[in-house]
Structure 1
Amino acid sequence: MTATLRTRLLVLASALLVLAAVALASVLHASARAERRDRARPDGPEITSGAVVLTEPGRMVFRNMAWGPHRDELVSVPASDPSGPRTASHVKCLRFHAAAGTGVCLQAVHGPLSDTYRAVLLDARLHVTRRYDVPGIPSRARVSPTGHLAAWTAFVGGDSYAGTDFSTRAAVVDTRTGTLIPSLESFRIVKDGREYRSSDVNFWGVTFADDDRTFYATMATGGRTYLVRGDLRAHTLTTLRGNVECPSLSPDGTRIAFKKRVPGLPKDAPWRLYVLDLRTMRETPLAEPRSVDDQAAWADARTVVYALPGDFGADLYRVPADGTGAPRRISTAALSPAYP
C-alpha cells in the first residue's frame, strides 16, 4: 500500500470518527435536554397504567398530552376531580370521543416515508372493533349519545380552520353494521329553501342527536360557514344559520355550543365561544375571552369544556353554558374530553 493511499485512508477514518462523535454528542445533548425539560415540570400529572372502561360511571376520558411513556394515550380520571391522578390505557389517539360504551379514536400510522391515518371504533374496554382509513390529518371526532353512530373529520388539504385555503372530509359510520358514509358531500344540500350545489363545499364538526337520525355540522361554501341539520335517512343537509363552526349538541338536544368568527379579531385567532338556543335561535356569548379552536364538549347540561394551548400542547377549561361565571382550567396536558 502506497504512502499516499495510507494517508487518504487515515484521513477518511478520522473523518468518520469525528462524525460519529458529533452524532453521539447530539444524541446525548437531546437526551439531557429532554430530562431537564421533564424535571422542570414538577407539576406534571400523576399517571399509572391500568384499565380504562368507557362504561364506568362518573369518569372523564381524554388524550393525555403530558411528556413521558403515556404521551397521547387515553387516560381516565374522576369527572369530579379532572386534575387528579390519571389511569393510562396504552391506547393512543390524536382525537377521541365516546358515548354509551362506544369510542372512536383517530390514530397516526407511522410509515418509513410518511404517516397515514385511521379511525378505529372501540368497545367499552377499548378493544378495536373496526378500522377505517382516514384520508388526511384528523381534526374532529364524535359518537352519538346512543353509541350507534360515529363521525370524524380530516383535513385533506391545508391544516387549519383559521384561513380559507383548506379542504375537509367528514365521514359517518354506523357502529353496529360498519356501514360507512365516507363523505357528507354526497348528501343533498338545501340552502335558504333551495337545492344548492357547489364545488367548494366542505363539512366538519359533526354532532349527533339521540334519535340515530339527526345530526348537525358545519358547512363552508362561498367564503362563509353555516350550521346545517343533517338527516341520515333522507341524506339531506339543511342550512339553519350562518357563522357557526364546530357545533356541539347539549345533552337535552335543545342548545348548540359553537365557535363563531368575530369581526376585528386576529385572522389566526378569530373565534369566540357561543351557545345557540335551537328553538329561539338566540345566541349567548360565553365568558371565555380567548379564541377557542376546538369542538367543545358538554360536561353536563350547564357546563361546556374545551381545549386551549398549554405548556404540554393543550389544557382543558370549563365555563358555564349560560354566559355567566368565568373560565377555569380543570386539567393540564389534556385534549379531546369525553364523558361516556
Structure 2
Amino acid sequence: MTPRARLLVLLTAVLVLAGIAGTAVQRAADREAEKDRARAGGPPAAPGEVSLEAPAGGRRIVFRNMAWGPHRDALASVSAADPNGPRTVSGVRCARFHAAGGTGICLRTAAGPLDAQHAVVLDARLAPTASHPLAGIPTRARVSPSGRLAAWTVFVGGDSYAGTDFSTRTSVLDTRTGRLEASLEDFAITRDGHPYRAADVNFWGVTFAADDRTFYATLRTAGRTHLVRGDLAARTVTTLRENAECPSLSPDGTRLVYKKRLPGLPAEAPWRLHALDLRTGAETPLAETRSVDDQVVWTDRDTVLYALPGDFGADLHSVPADGSGTPARLLGSALAPAYLG
C-alpha cells in the first residue's frame, strides 16, 4: 500500500470514529436532556397566551401545571392531540380550576400574612371578572357547559374526603346576574321521598346539566353519602341513591361517573370509579382499579379523565366510561383539566 493510500485509510478511519463519537455524545446529551425534563416535571413550557375560547385549530386542554419550576401551579394549555407536547403557560395560578363556555373558575390562595382564599371568575382571556372569599380550603370547582354557572366546594373542617371528621361548604354562582347561593345547605332536601333536615348535612362535587338549572352533587348526612339531583330555580335537592361521590355528568346528559366506596379497601383509599345510566339505573364499574379521589372530567362522550398521585403531585389518566379498556396515563404533572373545543 502506498503512503497516499495509507493516509486516505487513516483519514477515513478518523472521520468514522469522529462520527461515532459525535453520535454517542449527542445521544448522551439527549438522555441528559430527557433526565432534566423528567426532573423538571414534564414537557417544555413557555409563557404565552392561554385562552378559554374554543380553539379553531383543534381541541386543547387547559389545566393546572404541576411541573416543578417557575411555572408550577400556573394555568397551562396544550393540544389535546399531543398532550405531552410543549405547554403554553399563563401567569394565573390556581389551586383548583375548571372552565367551559369561555368562562373559568379559579380557586386560589393569595400570598400574604392572612393567605386570603378566593373564588375568582375568569373571562376567556383569564382576566378576573368577579371574586368571592372562600370559607376554607379549595377542593372542587366546576363550570356549567354554557359558562353561566360556577360551583365550588371548600373544606371548612378536616382536609380529606377519606376521613370521617370533615365539613364542606358548596356555593353556586350565576356569572351573568351575580346571584350567589352561598351554601347548598340552605336548599330544601327530599330524602327517600320525605322532607329531610339535619345539622350534619354537607354537599360537594357539583356537576351541571346543559339547562343551567339541573345539577347533581354529593350529599352527606348521618355518616352516609347520597347522589342528589338539584333544581337551582326551585332551590331543592332530591336523593337518588346511596354511596356515590363527586359525580360528573356526560356531555349528552345521560350518564354520571362518580367514585364509590367499596368494602374491604383501605380507609385512606376506599374508592372505585363507577358509571350510572340515568335512564336505566344500571351501574358499571370502570376498568380503573386504583382508588381515585377526584371528580372526573369527560374528554368526550366515551372517556373520562382523572388525577392520580404522581412524581410532582399529580398526573392525569384516562379510561373508557363503559367499563371496557385499560387505564392510560395521558398527561404528566397536571391537575384540574378542562377540555376546550
Q: Counterpart of 1:97 in structure 2: which amino acid?
A: H
Q: Which residue of 1 aligns with 2:336?
A: 336
Structure 1: gaps of 5 or more residues: 1-36
Q: Tell me the alpha carbon deviations over residues 238-291 of structure 1, each in whole angstroms, 9 at most, x when there is no partner.
A: 000100000000000000010000000000000001111111111111110100
Aligned CA-pair RMSD: 1.2
Q: Which residue of 2 aligns with 1:274?
A: 274
Alpha carbons 2:63, 2:337 under 8 Å: kept: yes
- CA 1:173–1:42 in 2, change beyond 3 Å: closer, same or farther? closer
Of 42, 50, 54, the match for 2:48 = 50
Whether 1:320 and 2:328 are equivalent positions in the alignment is no
SS of match in other structure, 1:154: strand
Listed as ranges, the matches of 1:52-67 within 5 Å are 52-57=50-55, 58-67=59-68
Q: Please report how far the alpha carbon of residue 56 of structure 1 lies from its aligned counterpart in structure 2 after TM superposition.
A: 3.4
Q: Counterpart of 2:62 in structure 1: which amino acid?
A: V
Whether 1:253 and 2:279 are equivalent positions in the alignment is no
SS of match in other structure, 1:41: helix
SS of match in other structure, 2:185: helix
SS of match in other structure, 1:115: coil
In 2, distance between residues paired with 1:76 and 1:216? Answer: 28
Listed as ranges, the matches of 1:49-88 within 5 Å are 49-57=47-55, 58-88=59-89
Alpha carbons 2:64, 2:336 under 8 Å: kept: yes
Alpha carbons 1:250, 1:256 under 8 Å: kept: yes
In 2, distance between residues paired with 1:175 and 1:65? Answer: 28
Listed as ranges, the matches of 1:1-340 within 5 Å are 41=39, 44-57=42-55, 58-112=59-113, 114-340=114-340
Structure 2: gaps of 5 or more residues: 1-34
SS of match in other structure, 1:217: strand
Q: Please report how far the alpha carbon of residue 110 of structure 1 lies from its aligned counterpart in structure 2 after TM superposition.
A: 2.3
SS of match in other structure, 1:310: coil
- CA 1:328–1:132 in 2, change beyond 3 Å: closer, same or farther? same
Could you state the TM-score of these two structures normalised by the residue count of structure 1?
Answer: 0.87
Q: Tell me the alpha carbon deviations over residues 154-188 of structure 1, each in whole angstroms, 9 at most, x when there is no partner.
A: 00000000011000000000010111111000000
Q: Please report how far the alpha carbon of residue 40 of structure 1 lies from its aligned counterpart in structure 2 after TM superposition.
A: 6.6
Q: Please report how far the alpha carbon of residue 81 of structure 1 lies from its aligned counterpart in structure 2 after TM superposition.
A: 1.3
Q: Which residue of 2 aligns with 1:32?
A: none
Could you state the TM-score of these two structures normalised by the residue count of structure 2?
Answer: 0.87
In 2, distance between residues paired with 1:141 and 1:93? Answer: 11
Q: Which residue of 2 aligns with 1:15?
A: none
- CA 1:43–1:206 in 2, change beyond 3 Å: closer, same or farther? closer
Q: Please report how far the alpha carbon of residue 302 of structure 1 lies from its aligned counterpart in structure 2 after TM superposition.
A: 0.4
SS of match in other structure, 2:62: strand
In 1, distance between residues paired with 2:54 and 2:234? Answer: 35
- CA 1:151–1:42 in 2, change beyond 3 Å: closer, same or farther? closer
Q: Which residue of 2 aligns with 1:7?
A: none
Q: Tell me the alpha carbon deviations over residues 57-110 of structure 1, each in whole angstroms, 9 at most, x when there is no partner.
A: 311100000010100000000111111110001100000000010000000122
Q: Please report how far the alpha carbon of residue 115 of structure 1 lies from its aligned counterpart in structure 2 after TM superposition.
A: 2.1
Q: Counterpart of 2:111 in structure 1: which amino acid?
A: H
Alpha carbons 1:218, 1:246 under 8 Å: kept: yes
